[in-house]
């Protein structure tokens, strides 16, 4: 846990990678819910540009998704999600992580350095994924011929071309 060794598989490095995976999962789930409920007929490039403007701003993501989240989830995990705004996404870089641990030691041990906190963040992510699954399962997975044709004929937005 207290290793500062140079190898990527030292315990602190693994803990930070776990944190970043959980944080990115929470962000992705919140963005998914925002897109699902708030897209307002945006699609393609317009939709991608709109959701990307939220960047890694957890507070803004949570505020936008709040109307679509169950009260019990917000009561149980809302504070933990807000805590993520105190923990920069740059902690995925080794030097940033070392600097953060050194200057924000108490915050580190109350969050990333705490097995309980990470476990609860994992439960939060599982709950958010469950909400996404529930909403998506309401839709049929079978496309009609018309829907399929419309999908095939619609120009596909490809961001990196």
Q: Where are the domains of the chain?
A: 11-153
**Has residue 123 got a pLDDT over 70?**
yes
pLDDT range class, residue 5, cuts 50, 70, 90: low
Closest by Cα among 74, 73, 71, 63 to 38: 63
Least confident stretch, 77-86, 117-126, 150-159: 150-159
State how far the Cα of 130 lies from the Cα of 70, in Å rounded to an integer.
Answer: 11
**Has residue 159 got a pLDDT over 60?**
yes
**Has residue 154 got a pLDDT over 90?**
no
The whole-number pLDDT of residue 141 equals 78
19-62 confidence digits (pLDDT tens): 899 999 999 999 999 999 999 989 888 999 999 999 999 999 99
pLDDT range class, residue 120, cuts 50, 70, 90: very high
Which among 84-93, 102-111, 116-125 has the top mean pLDDT? Answer: 116-125
State how far the Cα of 30 lies from the Cα of 125, in Å rounded to an integer.
Answer: 10
> Over the Cα atoms of the chain, what is R_g?
19
The answer to whether the CB of 17 falls within 8 A of the CB of 92 is yes
Q: Which residue matches tokens 């409920």?
A: 37
Which among 69-73, 101-105, 144-148 has the top mean pLDDT? Answer: 69-73
**Has residue 7 got a pLDDT over 70?**
no
The whole-number pLDDT of residue 8 equals 43
151-159, long-range: CB < 8 A, 24+ apart: 155/44, 157/43, 157/44, 157/45, 157/48, 159/45, 159/48
């Amino acid at each position: 846990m207290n290793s500062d060794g140079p190898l990527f598989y030292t315990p602190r490095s693994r803990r930070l990678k776990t944190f970043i995976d959980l944080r990115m999962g929470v962000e992705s789930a919140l963005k998914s819910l925002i897109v699902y409920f708030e897209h307002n007929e945006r699609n393609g490039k317009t939709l991608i540009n709109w959701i990307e403007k939220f960047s890694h701003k957890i507070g803004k993501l949570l505020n936008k998704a709040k109307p679509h989240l169950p009260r019990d989830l917000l009561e149980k995990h809302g504070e933990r999600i807000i805590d993520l705004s105190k923990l920069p996404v740059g902690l995925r870089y080794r030097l940033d992580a070392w600097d953060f641990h050194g200057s924000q030691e108490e915050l580190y041990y109350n969050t990333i350095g705490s097995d309980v906190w990470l476990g609860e963040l994992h439960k939060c992510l599982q709950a958010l994924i469950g909400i996404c699954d529930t909403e998506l399962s309401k839709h049929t997975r079978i496309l009609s011929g018309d829907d399929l044709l419309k999908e095939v004929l619609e120009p596909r937005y490809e961001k990196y071309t």
